[in-house]
Structure 1
Amino acid sequence: MRKLTAGLFYSIDGVAEAPNLFQFDSFDDELGQLLGRTMSEVDTVLMGRVGYQEWAGYWPNASQDLDFAGFINTVPKFIASDTLTGPLEWSNSQLIEGDLEDFVRALKARPGGTIAAMGGMSLVRQLLLAGLMDEMTLIIHPVVSGKGRHLFGGDDPTTRLVLKSCQQTSKDNVVLTYARREEA
């Protein structure tokens, strides 16, 4: 069974939206190494509509972060959307047809490497709460964003997690990797 993961940049006050507005100078070599390891393991990406549209407008012509651009432009991407219609223009992108959770269950059962949910807070939340997310990494930057969307909301059910790993980086980022706690 393939592993489904997600990684989100986070502020101290729980904001996960638009991390480029609060990361500032906190990105360091350790985070670069973490992302490099992640890219080497991932061979399939799941995205939400908003993330897809933002990233498809930037990464195909990116002039910086070329390692990530090379990865994200070539990896197969499956897009969850009720409003987009195909075919999609960004290379190796395909709309998910039918129920998202059924699609992910079938995808996890196929041979292959790690599947990563990227560019979609709603997608990550749905897959975690549905019990389909194997690991979720929160990269917490030492900053209070002050505004922006949070990954979880007041309507989400109580969901127990277990801490798989914890690391502090040289620029005081904290990298926490969680898995869902199995209920007895």
Structure 2
Amino acid sequence: MLTWSMMRPRLFLPSLALFLVGTAVNAAEQMTVLNLPLGGKLPQPIRVCKPQGLTDKEVKAMCWISAPFAYKGRKSGMVDLPGRDQRPRWAANATFNISVGPDNTLSKINVTSFNGQAQTEIRNSISSRFGPPLPNPGGIVEWKRSDIYIRSYCSPAECRTEFLSPVEYAEWQGELDARKKKDLARPVAP
């Protein structure tokens, strides 16, 4: 005769197994860019870099270069990233600005490379992972997928590449639409 205490482990274990499998699948689907979980939570809050750490050749953990800018519960600012040797050449010595939500979710990564001639290298690097960019006759190169939006543009002195999570992209598009509506209501002449 089976008792409740004998059945409970059997009922619990399949549920636990399904949870663990689901967790593994979600973890495998997490979008990473430059070893950062874009659209996902950072494993720990980011601290401000120690002054002596800024002179180190290799930083040990991501840190804010200075106190981040805070707005509507988000923090954004320049960070120092570990793993210089694991990044593509165009991003090895770049500067990085990120935006983090109140729940420590990484929503945006901006990379500034100080080589305005690197656009072809950047395009080829990003295309090798995300496929060909959208057709665009201008100088901006874009990739738009359901899991990421990327935009890269160069001036003679630098190239800027932005990686946006789907949530960040949707908010940005909403802000652009609202701005367009306001602009349409503006008078043409002063």
Q: What band does the TM-score fall into relative to the shorter chain?
A: under 0.3
TM-score, length basis structure 1: 0.25
- Which structure shows the bigger proportion of residues in helix conformation? 2
Work out which structure has the larger RCO, using CA pairs closer than 8 Å and 6 or more positions apart in sequence.
Answer: 1
TM-score, length basis structure 2: 0.25
